[in-house]
Amino acid sequence: MYYVKKTFEVAGAHRLELDYPSKCTQLHGHNWLITIHCRARELNEHGMVVDFADIKRRIADRLDHQVVNDILGCNPTAENMARWCCEQVPQCYRVDVQETQGNIATYELDD
């Protein structure tokens, strides 16, 4: 099995839809640190699991400097962002979304 991971920073804004009082229901920003984990049993015709530039195009180029609510189509929690990112890259099996230094959400496919 081959494994690769790509980490990048995405600056953006979001507001959470919550049924309890929270300052997170107001539009606010983060510099999310996102790590995309991919794997493959065989390398593609270019000798790669996935092209790192393709991961950037599929995730960072779509989220950076955006209002994430407008892109995800669901409540843009870190957990939902991690799932959405995983769904964008075919070889992806795990995504870590670090919202702040101490807050990290992980989504991992069940195999």
How confident is the model over 10-38, as pLDDT tens digits?
999 999 999 999 999 999 999 999 999 99
Share of the chain above pLDDT 90, in %: 97
Give me the pLDDT at residue 111, please.
Answer: 72
- Full residue range of the structural domain in which residue 21 is found: 2-108
CATH number reported for the structural domain that contains residue 23 in this entry: 3.30.479.10
How confident is the model over 54-83, as pLDDT tens digits?
999 999 999 999 999 999 999 999 999 999
Q: Is there a contact between 9 and 33 (Cβ–Cβ < 8 Å)?
A: yes
Angstrom distance (rounded) from CA 68 to CA 108: 21
Instruction: Look at the chain and report how many structural domains it folds into.
Output: 1
pTM of the model: 0.93
Give me the pLDDT at residue 107, please.
Answer: 98
